[in-house]
Amino acid sequence: MAPGIQNQVVSDTTLPAVIPESNQTPANNATELLFTLKNTVTLVTGGARGLGITLACAIAEAGGHVACVDILEQPLPEEWAGLEKIAKRSGLWCKYYQCDITNEPNVEQVFDEVKQETQRLNAPFRGTVACAGIQQKQPALEYPGSDYERIFRVNAVGAFLTAKYAARAMKATNVHGSIVMIASMSGNIANRGLDCSAYNSSKAAVQQMTRSLAQEWGQYGIRVNSLSPGYIRTAMTDALLQAEPELEKTWMAGALLGRLGAPEDFKAPVVFLLGSGSSFMTGADLRVDGGHCASA
Ligand SMILES: NC(=O)c1ccc[n+]([C@@H]2O[C@H](COP(=O)([O-])OP(=O)(O)OC[C@H]3O[C@@H](n4cnc5c(N)ncnc54)[C@H](O)[C@@H]3O)[C@@H](O)[C@H]2O)c1
């Protein structure tokens, strides 16, 4: 506190009835409207299965049109049928695009196609979730440089290209959009019993990329935040657990809520980050890890 003002009563009588920032923020709305994605289009990479398609369902349940992008030729049939059902129920558009997020012309083309759909739908392109990622367990002493590069190419460069074309589309239409980068708690900690130096480093890169892009794109009203999950049971972790079942015991030792995560645990966090409720949030990391990083 500045000297001389210790005993002064700070008066708020100079504040106007409605502060100017309240007139500026899209969050100045009824709370239920802060979590709606109605009349918006969002693109989700890694949207063929696992976390990505669950997040796509959350977006549709929040009223948004959704494009799912993945390297796989087709999305998992059962999951895709679930998404289509939600979309049909609410008169929403959803479409699957096969795309390798490390192939820049391919990424640009998909964003162009989605932009055309937004015109047809008369709904702004307002959201992107960069969820595609790969994992590899390999002791660092034997890690081939080419594999290390492959992990970075998908998890860091692919995530960057996704964010770049998302921001270009938003800027071109003057839309104040939200980009969510799926990182990991492994960007903050080195997982016990899991030799994944490339994956962990790539996720730390995603977290720092988030801050850097937020710094550059805030001037266009484009927000960039990362969402860092803890252990989630998906195809990615299932492969690790099947190869080494004893890993689950190590993971559970840090599970303060007594369980691993489910893809559904990330539905509300992603809708919050995409919606206007998080209007004042950019360059931040939202860690959702069942308490894993809170205890040693
Ligand atoms: N499962 C976990 O415990 C966990 C924890 C923290 C973070 N994450 C992150 O969540 C995201 C989703 O993981 P998941 O568990 O659902 O895994 P997943 O393997 O089921 O899904 C990842 C998806 O990314 C796609 N993909 C891979 N390379 C691609 C490329 N070059 N172009 C386009 N798509 C590509 C895959 O085909 C797959 O559908 C990843 O970024 C992952 O790192 C997962």
Whole-angstrom Cα distance, residue 134 to residue 174?
33
* DSSP calls for 128-139: EEE-------B-
pLDDT in tens, the chain (296 residues): 444 445 555 555 678 888 899 999 999 999 999 999 999 999 999 999 999 999 999 999 999 999 999 999 999 999 999 999 999 999 999 999 999 999 999 999 999 999 999 999 999 999 999 999 999 999 999 999 999 999 999 999 999 999 999 999 999 999 999 999 999 999 999 998 899 999 999 999 999 999 999 999 999 999 999 999 999 998 888 888 888 899 899 999 999 999 999 999 999 999 999 999 999 999 999 999 999 999 98
CATH code of the domain covering residue 104: 3.40.50.720
Determine whether the shortest distance from the Cβ of 290 to ligand 1 is under 6 A.
no
Give the chain's domain count.
Answer: 1
Q: What is the DSSP letter of 218?
A: G
Shortest-distance Cα residue to atom 42 of ligand 1: 133
Q: Could you confirm whether 148 is annotated as catalytic?
A: no
Cβ-based neighbour number of residue 156 at 10 Å: 19
Q: Could you confirm whether 203 is annotated as catalytic?
A: yes
CB-based burial, 22-33: b 16+ in 10 Å, e otherwise = eeeeebeeeeee
Please report whether residue 12 resides in a domain. Answer: no
**Mutate-to-test residue for ligand 1 from 44, 54, 70, highest number of ligand atoms within 8 A of CB:** 70
Domain that holds residue 145: 32-289
**Mutate-to-test residue for ligand 1 from 78, 134, 189, 233, highest number of ligand atoms within 8 A of CB:** 134
Please report whether residue 23 resides in a domain. Answer: no
Please report whether residue 22 resides in a domain. Answer: no
Determine whether the shortest distance from the Cβ of 71 to ligand 1 is under 6 A.
yes
What's the token pair of residue 248? 């689950």
Please report whether residue 86 resides in a domain. Answer: yes
User: Which position has the token pair 């977006």?
Assistant: 59
Please report whether residue 24 resides in a domain. Answer: no
Please report whether residue 17 resides in a domain. Answer: no
Please report whether residue 163 resides in a domain. Answer: yes
Please report whether residue 98 resides in a domain. Answer: yes
Whole-angstrom Cα distance, residue 5 to residue 81?
64
